[in-house]
């Protein structure tokens, strides 16, 4: 085992009940007031907890909306381990429960059961990562099974406008002043007793249909931010005109291909326009889904392969990242294979395509090494940074999802 002598984060420690609720609510109220946030409640009469709160995930402001919407109801939020770095005591104190993403975690299930048994809310972001282009990410069937096992009402909180205000590919606030959210009870206390897990899961999927760019256009939300297209090349990594990958560039409000030179403008209402010739996609999510279709074709034809040099850091606990040096990242039809040498010993990290339905990625993570993927095992998290321009972590994420689908057929 890599870093065998390093202590692991204590996942077994029971979750604390939430403290500092008034302070959290006041901070949330202040942030939401700046953005004119509105929360609409549907079917929430008499729903006071315990319940399972499922939230979509587009930006950090999602947490603020959830904290405000809870109206002082005690809640335990599920948070990835990197959120605990240097502040484990504080996050535990305010009720956060640590997890590693995209691994089976029966301890987490047990903690959730503890929370609802003492009458509190479990707050979960089932997509397990920020949306890359403001649309729904993969939702695993296990969410429906968890809801059924907990046996409490299921409530969804779907936020609109958070992605276009602070997109994952370019985080600075874009100044959107009228964001919205809908808090809805989709499974009542009586229904949870009779509905089966697949039926609950279908209700969850129906509730988690959103598109921030479509919302922006329908609401006529104008974004004057002068750098609103910058970073978009990380999501839209393939040119639809010449089909070249990894040569897209952005500056200001424009997205262009470094290979063929074609250029698009992202207007103030979130639509793309080619400066010359056909506008292949005027809707950012449509371009993204076109890329997914191209990756799916590679997978179905059995030719998907990425094999690149990289460097890797590990996070066995909440103390901080441990550099492991150079490695080799291979992502192929069988899944992930990472090989390297640390302190004179060879190691290998393997995640089978059949066991990982999605993966978390980061753009310009911590402003240090660039874009990365993070792979989790039960006792460690590895941040892997490809060291080549001929790679896009977005494509790796898409391929992970398509390989999982393909392996189940």
Q: What is the DSSP string of 116-141?
A: HHTT-EEEE-TT-S--SSSB-----T
Domain boundary assignment for the chain: 21-218, 232-300, 306-407
Percentage of residues of the chain with pLDDT beyond 70: 100
> pLDDT tens-digit profile of 94-118?
999 999 999 988 999 999 999 999 9
| pLDDT digit string, tens, across residues 25-67 | 999 999 999 999 999 999 999 999 899 999 999 999 999 999 9
Helix (H) or strand (E) holding 287: helix 284-300
253-270 residue pLDDT tens: 999 999 999 999 999 999
Matching residue, tokens 């909306």: 65
Whether the Cβ atoms of residue 268 and residue 222 lie closer than 8 Å to each other: yes
CA pair distance 170, 163, nearest whole angstrom: 10
Is there a cis peptide before residue 373, judged by omega within 30 degrees of 0? Answer: no
306-407 belongs to which CATH class?
mainly beta
* Residue among 96, 146, 104, 93 nearest 123 (CA): 96
Using alpha carbons only, give the angle 309, 241, 214 rounded to the nearest 5 degrees: 95
Q: Is 337 exposed, middle or buried (0-12, 13-18, 19+ CB in 10 A)?
A: middle
**pTM summary value:** 0.96
What is the Cα–Cα distance from 305 to 355, expressed in whole angstroms?
Answer: 18
pLDDT digits (tens, 9 = 90+) for 327-343: 999 999 999 999 999 99
What does the pLDDT average to over 121-148? 97
Secondary structure of residue 218 in the 3-state scheme: helix
Q: Tell me the per-residue pLDDT of 163-209, one tens digit each, with 9 for 90 and over.
A: 999 999 999 999 999 999 999 999 999 999 999 999 999 999 999 99
Residues 6+ apart with CB under 8 A from 409: none
Mean pLDDT of 272-285: 98
For every residue of 35-103, DSSP letters joined together read: TT-EEEEES-TT--SS-EEEE--SSTHHHHHHHHHTTT--EEEEEEGGGGTT-HHHHHHTT-EEE-TTS
Q: What are phi and psi of 112, to 5 degrees?
A: -60, -40
Average pLDDT over residues 84-92: 96
Q: Residue 321 in 3-state DSSP?
A: coil
112, 133 in Cβ contact below 8 A? no
pLDDT-derived band at 4 (thresholds 50, 70, 90) equals confident
- Mean pLDDT over the full length of the chain: 96
CA angle, residues 29, 32, 38, in degrees to nearest 5:
105
Reported confidence tier of residue 1, pLDDT bands at 50, 70, 90: low
What would the pLDDT profile of 68-77 be if each residue is shown by its tens digit?
999 999 999 9
Q: How many CA atoms lie within 13 A of 233 on its CB side?
A: 23
Q: What is the 3-state secondary structure (H, E, C) of 145-193?
A: HHHHHHCCCEEEEEEECHHHHCCCCCCCCCCCCCCEEEEEEEECCCHHH
User: Has residue 251 got a pLDDT over 80?
Assistant: yes
pLDDT band, residue 366 (cuts 50/70/90):
confident
Please give the Cα distance from 171 to 58 (Å, whole number). 11
Pairwise CA distance, residues 114 & 50, whole Å? 11
What percent of the chain is predicted at pLDDT more than 90? Answer: 96
**Of 210, 59, 77, 56, which is closest to residue 126 (Cα–Cα)?**
56
Tell me the two tokens of residue 203.
């209700």
SS3 of 10, please? coil
């Amino acid at each position: 085992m890599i870093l065998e002598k390093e202590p692991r984060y204590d996942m077994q420690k029971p979750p604390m009940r939430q403290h500092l609720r008034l302070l959290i609510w006041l901070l949330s109220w202040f942030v939401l007031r700046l953005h004119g946030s509105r929360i609409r409640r549907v079917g929430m009469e008499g729903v006071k907890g315990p319940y399972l709160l499922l939230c979509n995930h587009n930006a950090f402001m999602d947490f603020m909306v959830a904290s405000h919407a809870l109206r002082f109801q005690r809640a335990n939020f599920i948070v990835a381990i990197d959120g605990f770095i240097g502040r484990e005591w504080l996050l535990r104190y305010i009720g956060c429960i640590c997890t590693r993403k995209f691994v089976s975690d029966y301890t987490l299930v047990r903690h959730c059961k503890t929370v609802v048994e003492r009458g509190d809310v479990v707050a979960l972001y089932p997509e397990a990562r920020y949306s890359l282009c403001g649309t729904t990410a993969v939702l695993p069937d296990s969410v429906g099974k968890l809801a059924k096992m907990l046996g409490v009402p299921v409530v969804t909180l779907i936020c609109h406008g958070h992605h276009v205000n602070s997109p994952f590919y370019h985080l600075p606030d874009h100044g959107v002043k009228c964001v919205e959210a809908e808090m809805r009870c989709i499974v009542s206390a009586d229904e949870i007793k009779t509905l089966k897990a697949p039926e609950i899961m279908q209700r969850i999927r129906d509730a988690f249909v959103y598109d921030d760019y479509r919302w922006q256009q329908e609401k006529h939300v104008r974004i004057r931010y002068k750098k609103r297209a910058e970073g978009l090349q990380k999501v839209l990594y393939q040119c639809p005109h010449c089909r070249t990958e990894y040569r897209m560039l952005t500056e200001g409000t424009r997205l262009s291909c470094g290979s063929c030179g074609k250029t698009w403008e992202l207007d103030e209402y979130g639509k793309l326009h080619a400066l010359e010739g056909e506008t292949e996609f005027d809707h950012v999510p449509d371009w993204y889904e076109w890329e997914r279709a191209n990756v799916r074709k590679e997978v179905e034809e059995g030719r998907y392969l990425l094999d690149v040099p990289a460097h890797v850091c590990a996070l066995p606990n909440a103390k901080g990242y441990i550099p492991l040096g150079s490695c080799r990242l291979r992502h192929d039809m069988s899944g992930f294979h990472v090989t390297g040498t640390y302190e004179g010993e060879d190691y290998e990290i393997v995640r089978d395509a059949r066991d990982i339905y999605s993966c978390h990625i980061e753009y310009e993570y911590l402003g240090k090494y660039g874009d990365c993927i993070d792979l989790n095992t039960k006792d460690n998290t590895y941040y892997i940074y490809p060291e080549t321009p001929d790679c896009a972590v977005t494509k790796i994420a898409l391929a992970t999802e398509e390989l999982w689908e393909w392996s189940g057929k």
